[in-house]
Amino acid sequence: MYQALGLRDQECTRTRYEDNMIKLEIKTREDKLRCAHCGNRHVVHDGKTVREFRCVPIGSKPIVLVKTVFRLKCKDCGKVLDEPIHFATGKRRYTHKFERYVCELSSAMTIKDVATFVRVSWDTVKDIQKRYLYRRYNCPDLSGLKHIGIDEFAVQKGHVYKTIVVNLDNGQIMYVGEGKGSDSLKKFWKRLKKSGAKIEAVATDLSAAYISAVKENLPDAVQVYDHFHVIKLMNDTLDQIRRNAYARAKDEDKDFIKGTRWLLLMSGERLKNSEKALAKLEEALQMNKPLMKAYYLKESLHEIWKRAIKPEAELLIDEWIAQAKATKVRLLRKMAETVEKHRAGILAWYDFSITTGKLEGINNKIKVLKRKAYGYRDDKFFELKLLSLHDPIYPFAG
Ligand SMILES: [Zn+2]
């Protein structure tokens, strides 16, 4: 009973076979009965109830323990209580060993598969996993944090958001906040302060809400605006200019411009080997001056992060801003102003080469998680799943 089922001090009084399950009727051996309050063994019977517990299977047959629970009156402390049950917690209807068994199966099977296999509900398997994840991953220790990235993602497109803070040194999600913007980080700042962590640098996108929240809560940390986001903004600007060019083009040119989107957005480096693509690109650029200017500014923007030393990048960024302003293309001047406004944080990359690139990788993992659709049903469970994503021995499949 102990080796196989994890039961101590129990005797089996009868075995039944019912509903395709083996039912073991058990009770505590008389000499092992103790008071649940003081542990004394001077107790007398004062009634009984029966509780059923799921237990690990024997062979392929599910086991149910039908346990007689004695109500005991203690001669020492005078309390009348049910005998203590060592093999299960609280009102749960399965044993500790069954929980461990479900966790082990979960490393190779989805929740749905485990539930079907052991014949319990989806929610029971989820609850067991959730408690395990909670013990292991809830509220990670923030005290050693130095470099962090902040980003948001949509749980449901357009209306439910979460904000995550990632340790950029190892890719671990340290915090999951509800919503987006500065409110979503409030609890994080509180916990961070308590932890005594000394944050050196923070990577964010160009969103004003995060920038001011970081400035306010970590005045000594260096803010690095991620180059991925700056380049994305430039690509969006270029694409908008292409759409404007399309709208203004003569009918016979429209189709041509329409087909150039990928050419414009692809890096020149990658186009080098295709003469046909280059010729097409050249033709599109000749057709429309603003488009041409935007294209070359997009290409040269990349260079800002490719200098050997910061002073070179400083010269380059100023030149870039001046060129973009001189174009007299409204969208490019707007982009120039954005780059100018964030100049220090863009160049801070030369002091701390951190990017939210890790966050992009994490976002892909999150997409896979979401596809499996637990995300919406139980917020805390989803949060725990996120907090455990970094773990190479991440315990659960599916
Ligand atoms: Zn007692």
**Are 129 and 242 part of one and the same domain?**
no
Are 143 and 398 within 8 A, CB to CB? no
**Are 199 and 238 part of one and the same domain?**
no
CA 68 to centroid of ligand 1, rounded, Å:
20
Would 397 be classed as within a structural domain?
Answer: no
CA 30 to centroid of ligand 1, rounded, Å:
16
CA 89 to centroid of ligand 1, rounded, Å:
20
Would 395 be classed as within a structural domain?
Answer: no
Domain that holds residue 70: 2-134
How many beta carbons lie within 10 A of that of residue 65, not counting itself? 25
Domain boundary among 103, 134, 165: 134
Q: How far is CA 223 from the centre of its chain?
A: 23
Are 72 and 55 within 8 A, CB to CB? no
**Are 287 and 214 part of one and the same domain?**
no
Q: What is this structure's pTM?
A: 0.79
CA 270 to centroid of ligand 1, rounded, Å:
79
Tokens of 220: 């000594």
Measured distance CA(244)–CA(127) in Å, rounded = 54
Q: Which residues pair with 53 in a beta bridge?
A: 65
Contacting residues for 389 by C-beta, under 8 A, at least 6 apart: 173, 362, 365, 366, 369
CA 198 to centroid of ligand 1, rounded, Å:
51
What SS3 state is found at 385?
Answer: helix
**Are 251 and 307 part of one and the same domain?**
yes
Would 398 be classed as within a structural domain?
Answer: no
Q: What is the pLDDT of residue 375?
A: 46
Would 362 be classed as within a structural domain?
Answer: yes
CA 26 to centroid of ligand 1, rounded, Å:
23
* Token pair 């005078």 in the structure block, residue: 78
**Are 161 and 44 part of one and the same domain?**
no
Q: What is the pLDDT of residue 395?
A: 65
Angle, CA of 248, 252 and 253, to the nearest 5°:
50
CA 66 to centroid of ligand 1, rounded, Å:
26
* Token pair 């380059």 in the structure block, residue: 316
Would 203 be classed as within a structural domain?
Answer: yes
HSE value, Cβ hemisphere, 13 Å, CA-based, for 87: 27
CA 47 to centroid of ligand 1, rounded, Å:
16
Domain count for the chain, please give it. 3
Are 351 and 222 within 8 A, CB to CB? yes
CATH number of the domain at 197, please.
3.30.420.10
Q: What is the pLDDT of residue 394?
A: 61
**Are 130 and 85 part of one and the same domain?**
yes
CA 83 to centroid of ligand 1, rounded, Å:
11
Longest CA–CA span in the chain (Å) reads: 100
Measured distance CA(200)–CA(221) in Å, rounded = 5
**Are 234 and 382 part of one and the same domain?**
no
Q: What is the pLDDT of residue 397?
A: 65
**Are 44 and 92 part of one and the same domain?**
yes
15 sits in the region (left: phi over 0; alpha: psi -120 to 50; else beta) called: beta
Tokens of 29: 């051996």
**Are 109 and 59 part of one and the same domain?**
yes
CA 54 to centroid of ligand 1, rounded, Å:
29
CA 38 to centroid of ligand 1, rounded, Å:
4
Would 275 be classed as within a structural domain?
Answer: yes
Task: Give tens-digit pLDDT for 270-311.
Answer: 777 788 888 888 888 888 888 899 999 999 999 999 999 999
Question: pLDDT 10s per residue in the chain (398 long)?
Answer: 777 888 999 999 999 999 889 999 999 999 999 999 999 999 999 999 999 999 999 888 899 999 999 999 999 999 999 999 999 999 999 999 999 999 999 888 888 899 999 999 999 999 999 999 999 999 999 999 999 999 888 887 767 888 999 999 988 999 999 988 889 999 999 999 999 999 999 999 888 889 999 999 999 999 999 888 899 999 999 999 999 988 888 887 787 777 788 888 887 777 777 888 888 888 888 888 888 999 999 999 999 999 999 999 999 999 999 999 999 899 999 999 999 999 999 999 999 988 777 777 788 888 777 766 554 578 888 889 889 888 866 667 65
CA 12 to centroid of ligand 1, rounded, Å:
26
CA 258 to centroid of ligand 1, rounded, Å:
84
Would 281 be classed as within a structural domain?
Answer: yes
CA 73 to centroid of ligand 1, rounded, Å:
8
CA 78 to centroid of ligand 1, rounded, Å:
6
Measured distance CA(397)–CA(129) in Å, rounded = 11
Domain boundary among 134, 156, 174: 134
CA 39 to centroid of ligand 1, rounded, Å:
6
CA 203 to centroid of ligand 1, rounded, Å:
59
- Three-state SS for 213-234 is HHHHHCCCCEEEECHHHHHHHH
Q: What is the pLDDT of residue 372?
A: 66
**Are 217 and 239 part of one and the same domain?**
no
CA 71 to centroid of ligand 1, rounded, Å:
12
CA 6 to centroid of ligand 1, rounded, Å:
26
CA 46 to centroid of ligand 1, rounded, Å:
14
Sign of CA dihedral 92, 96, 98, 104: positive
CA 41 to centroid of ligand 1, rounded, Å:
8
**Are 80 and 117 part of one and the same domain?**
yes
CA 53 to centroid of ligand 1, rounded, Å:
26
**Are 78 and 28 part of one and the same domain?**
yes
Domain boundary among 75, 107, 134: 134
